[in-house]
C-alpha cells in the first residue's frame, strides 16, 4: 500500500489551524495532490464539517479522558493506514494542542506549529516543545497587529526555533497559503511511520488520577507521585 | 539599489479586471491612495507590503525593478524593502515600550544603543500629547500615543525605501509633522488618506473603487494653489484645536484666513 506523507499540525486553541489548512488544502488540490484529514480533539469538534466542505475524507478522534497528544500517538499507525486506504498522498492531522507540555511531532512526518501573533508575546515560550520541534511555524492573524509587532513576534519565534521555516499567513483571506502548500509538497516524504520516533518525550501519565482516582489526599495516591516543595514556614501573616 | 516597483493589477471585488492594468512607481515619488471606506485601500498597501504574487484576494503581482522579489526580501525583516504604518490604533503585544523597541531594532538588524532608543522616544513624544515613558506597557498607551510611537518606530527602526502609511489622520496627532518624520528624500511613499491636506502631498492619486484601482489622477496646477489654501485652513484649525485642548479661549485675532478666500 502507498504511504501518505504525514503533516502534523498543532497549536493553541483557536489560533487558526483549520482556517489555514482549508486554504492550503485548496492549493494542494490545485497541485493535483489527494489530501485526507484527521482531526484529534478532546471532547467535541465541528472542524470535520469544515474540512468536508473542501471535499476531503475526514476522520475524527476524540481523546475524552486522556491527553490528546497521547491519544494521537497511540492512534498514529491506524490513521496512516486509513489515509492510505483512502489513497491519500498527503495526510493532514490537526491536533487540539491543549496541552503545552506535549508535542506531537514525529520523525519522518512534517511537524507544523501554528501560532497567532495577536495572542501574547509570551506564547512562543509557553508552548515550548511544540514550537521547538517544528519544521514549519505558521504565524496567523498578522492582519490585526502592526508590522512592527509582527516582526517582533517573528524574531521571538526565531529565538526559540532557529531552523524552522517561518511563514506568515492570513487565515481569513488565505494569503500566504499558496506558498505554504508548496512547502508541504516540497518538504518531507511519504513514509511508514511504524518505528519512527517522537521528537519530544510525552510526559508520564502514571499517577492514581490517570487511572481514574477521584478522591483528594495522599492516602489515596499510588504510583509516581511528585509532591511540591514549599518555602520554610515563617508565620509571616499577622 | 532598487529604483521602482510595478503593480500588475488583478481583480476587483466583483471579479472584474481592474480598470488600471499596470502601475509603476519610482524611487522618490509620493502617491496618495483615496477612495471610500471599504474600497480596497488597505488591501492595496497590504498587497505591496506582502509583495503579493497572485496569492492574495486581489490576484495582484508586485515587482521590484521588474522582477518578482526573492523569498528573503518578502519575509525576512532584515532585508524588507517596506515599512508599513498600519491602520491599527492600538498595540496588541503586552510588553514595555523599551523592550519592544529593542526587540524590533534587533529584528531589523540594527545596532541597539541608548541613543537609538532616546531618539525614538523623543520623536514619538514630539508627536504625542501626553508623554510616553519607555517603561509604559504598549497595550496601555492611548490611541494617539500608540500612533505616535508607531510613527517614530517606522521612521527610525523600519527605515526602508518604501513607506506605506494607512490613515495617519485619525489619532489626533500633528499630521504634517508626522508626514515630515516619515517621508525622506529618495523613498517611495504611499499615503492612504481621507484628508485633503495629506491627499494633495502626493504628485499622483490612486483612486480605489470596489476593491480595484479605478484611476490615477495627477495633481493639477490649480490643485497646487488649492493645497496652499487647504494648508492654511488646516493650520488655523490646528491653532484653534490647541487653544481648546490646553484650556484656553480662542481669540478672533489669532485666526488668519488664507488670502485667496
Ligand atoms: N483576523 C484573523 N482571524 C483569523 C485568522 N486566522 C483565523 N482567524 C479566526 O480565528 C478563529 C479560529 O480559527 P480556527 O481556524 O477555527 O482555529 P483552530 O486553531 O482550528 O481552532 P480549534 O480547532 O478550535 O483549536 C476563527 O474565527 C477564524 O476566522 C487570521 O489570520 N486573521
Ligand atoms: N479586489 C478585491 N477582491 C476581493 N476582496 C477585496 C478586494 N479589495 C479589497 N477587498 C476586501 O474588501 C474589504 C475592505 O477593503 P479595505 O482594503 O479594508 O478597504 P479600505 O481600506 O478602503 O476601507 C477587505 O476585507 C478586503 O480584503
Ligand atoms: Mg480547528
Ligand atoms: Mg483601510
Ligand atoms: Zn499532554
Per-residue CA distances from B12 to A95, A139, B58 (Å): 37, 27, 7
Which residue range(s) make up the domain with B65?
4-219
Residues B117 and B134 placed together within one structural domain of the fold: yes
Radius of gyration for chain A, computed over Cα atoms and rounded to the nearest angstrom: 20
**CATH code: domain of residue B200:** 3.40.50.300
pLDDT at position B260: 57
Domain A5-186 of CATH type 3.40.109.10: no
pLDDT in tens, A118-146: 888 888 888 888 999 999 999 999 988 99
Give the nearest chain B residue to A146 (CA atoms).
B86
Residues B196 and B225 placed together within one structural domain of the fold: no
What's chain A's average pLDDT? 88
Give the nearest chain B residue to A180 (CA atoms).
B55
- B12 and B210 in contact (C-beta within 8 Å)? yes
Residues B43 and B171 placed together within one structural domain of the fold: yes
CA nearest to A110, candidates A170, A182, A16? A182
Q: Give the integer Cα–Cα distance in Å for A34 and A28.
A: 8
Mutation target vs B (from A149, A177, A179; most B CBs, 10 A cutoff): A149
Q: Looking at the 3D structure of chain B, how many domains does it have?
A: 2
Q: CB–CB of B150 and A175 under 8 A?
A: no
Residues B115 and B210 placed together within one structural domain of the fold: yes
Regions of chain A where pLDDT drops below 70: 1, 97-99, 204-207
Residues B235 and B199 placed together within one structural domain of the fold: no
pLDDT at position A80: 93
Q: Which residues lie across from B8 on neighbouring strands?
A: B22, B61
Count of A–B CB contacts within 8 Å? 77
Residues B193 and B153 placed together within one structural domain of the fold: yes
Q: Give the integer Cα–Cα distance in Å for B163 and B137.
A: 26
pLDDT at position B123: 95
pLDDT at position A98: 67
Mutation target vs A (from B10, B46, B70, B107; most A CBs, 10 A cutoff): B107
Residues B199 and B231 placed together within one structural domain of the fold: no
- Closest ligand to A140 CA? 1
Regions of chain B where pLDDT drops below 50: none
- Closest ligand to A198 CA? 5
CA of A96 to the centre of ligand 5 (A): 10
Query: Could you tell me if the CB of A17 is within 6 A of ligand 1?
Result: yes
Q: Which residues of B touch A173 (CB under 8 A)?
A: 56-57
- Closest ligand to B166 CA? 4
Sketch the domain layout of chain A as residue ranges: 5-186
Q: Please indicate if any CB of chain A lies within 8 Å of the CB of B51.
A: no
End-to-end CA distance of chain A: 72
Residues B201 and B235 placed together within one structural domain of the fold: no
Residues B226 and B114 placed together within one structural domain of the fold: no
Nearest CB among B57, B92, B157 relative to A149 is that of: B92
Give the nearest chain B residue to A166 (CA atoms).
B75
Q: Please indicate if any CB of chain A lies within 8 Å of the CB of B154.
A: yes
pLDDT at position B259: 64
Residues B245 and B184 placed together within one structural domain of the fold: no
Ion ligand 5: protein residues whose beta carbon lies under 5 Å: A 67, 69, 99, 102
pLDDT at position A205: 65
Interface predicted TM-score (ipTM): 0.86
pLDDT at position B253: 86
Mutation target vs B (from A123, A140, A147, A172; most B CBs, 10 A cutoff): A147
Amino acid at each position: 500500500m502507498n504511504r501518505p506523507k504525514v503533516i502534523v499540525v498543532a497549536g493553541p486553541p483557536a489560533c487558526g489551524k483549520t482556517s489555514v489548512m482549508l486554504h492550503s488544502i485548496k492549493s494542494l488540490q490545485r497541485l493535483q495532490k489527494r489530501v485526507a484529514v484527521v482531526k484529534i480533539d478532546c471532547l467535541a469538534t465541528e472542524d470535520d464539517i469544515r474540512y468536508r466542505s473542501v471535499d476531503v475524507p475526514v476522520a475524527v478522534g476524540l481523546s475524552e479522558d486522556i491527553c490528546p497528544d497521547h491519544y494521537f500517538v497511540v492512534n498514529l499507525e491506524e490513521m496512516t493506514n486509513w489515509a492510505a486506504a483512502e489513497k491519500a498522498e498527503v495526510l493532514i492531522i490537526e491536533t487540539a494542542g491543549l496541552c503545552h507540555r506535549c508535542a506531537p511531532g514525529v520523525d519522518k512526518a512534517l511537524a507544523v506549529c501554528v501560532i497567532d501573533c495577536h495572542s501574547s508575546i509570551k506564547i512562543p515560550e509557553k508552548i515550548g516543545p511544540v514550537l521547538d520541534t517544528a519544521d514549519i511555524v505558521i504565524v496567523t492573524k498578522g492582519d490585526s497587529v502592526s508590522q512592527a509587532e509582527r516582526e517582533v513576534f517573528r524574531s521571538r519565534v526565531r529565538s526559540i526555533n532557529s531552523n524552522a521555516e517561518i511563514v506568515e499567513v492570513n487565515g481569513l483571506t488565505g494569503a500566504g497559503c499558496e506558498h505554504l502548500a508548496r512547502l508541504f509538497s516540497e518538504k518531507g516524504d511519504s513514509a511508514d511511520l511504524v518505528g519512527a520516533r517522537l521528537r519530544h518525550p510525552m510526559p508520564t501519565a502514571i499517577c492514581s488520577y490517570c487511572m481514574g482516582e477521584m478522591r483528594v489526599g495522599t492516602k489515596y495516591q499510588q504510583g509516581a507521585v511528585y509532591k511540591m516543595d514549599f518555602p520554610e514556614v515563617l508565620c509571616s501573616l499577622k | 539599489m532598487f529604483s521602482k516597483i510595478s503593480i500588475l493589477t488583478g481583480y476587483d471585488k466583483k471579479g472584474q479586471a481592474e480598470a488600471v492594468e499596470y502601475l509603476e512607481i519610482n524611487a522618490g515619488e509620493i502617491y496618495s491612495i483615496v477612495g471610500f471606506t471599504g474600497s480596497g485601500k488597505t488591501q492595496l498597501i497590504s498587497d505591496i507590503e506582502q509583495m503579493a504574487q497572485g496569492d492574495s484576494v486581489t490576484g495582484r503581482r508586485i515587482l521590484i525593478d521588474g522582477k518578482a522579489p526573492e523569498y528573503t526580501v518578502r519575509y525576512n525583516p532584515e532585508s524588507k524593502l517596506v515599512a508599513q504604518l498600519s491602520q491599527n490604533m492600538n498595540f496588541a503585544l503586552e510588553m514595555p515600550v523599551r523592550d519592544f523597541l529593542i526587540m524590533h531594532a534587533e529584528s531589523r538588524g540594527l545596532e541597539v544603543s541608548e541613543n537609538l532608543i532616546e531618539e525614538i522616544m523623543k520623536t514619538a513624544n514630539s508627536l504625542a500629547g501626553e508623554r510616553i515613558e519607555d517603561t509604559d506597557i504598549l497595550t496601555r498607551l492611548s490611541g494617539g500615543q500608540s500612533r505616535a510611537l508607531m510613527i517614530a518606530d517606522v521612521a527610525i527602526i523600519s527605515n526602508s525605501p518604501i513607506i506605506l502609511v494607512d490613515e495617519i489622520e485619525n489619532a489626533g496627532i500633528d499630521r504634517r509633522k508626522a508626514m515630515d518624520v516619515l517621508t525622506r528624500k529618495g523613498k517611495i511613499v504611499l499615503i492612504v488618506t481621507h484628508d485633503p491636506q495629506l491627499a494633495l502631498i502626493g504628485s499622483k492619486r490612486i483612486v480605489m473603487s470596489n476593491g480595484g484601482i479605478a484611476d490615477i489622477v495627477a495633481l493639477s496646477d490649480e490643485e497646487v494653489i488649492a493645497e496652499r489654501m487647504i494648508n492654511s485652513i488646516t493650520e488655523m484649525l490646528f491653532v484653534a484645536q490647541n487653544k481648546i485642548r490646553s484650556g484656553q479661549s480662542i481669540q478672533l485675532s489669532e485666526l488668519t484666513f488664507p488670502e485667496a478666500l
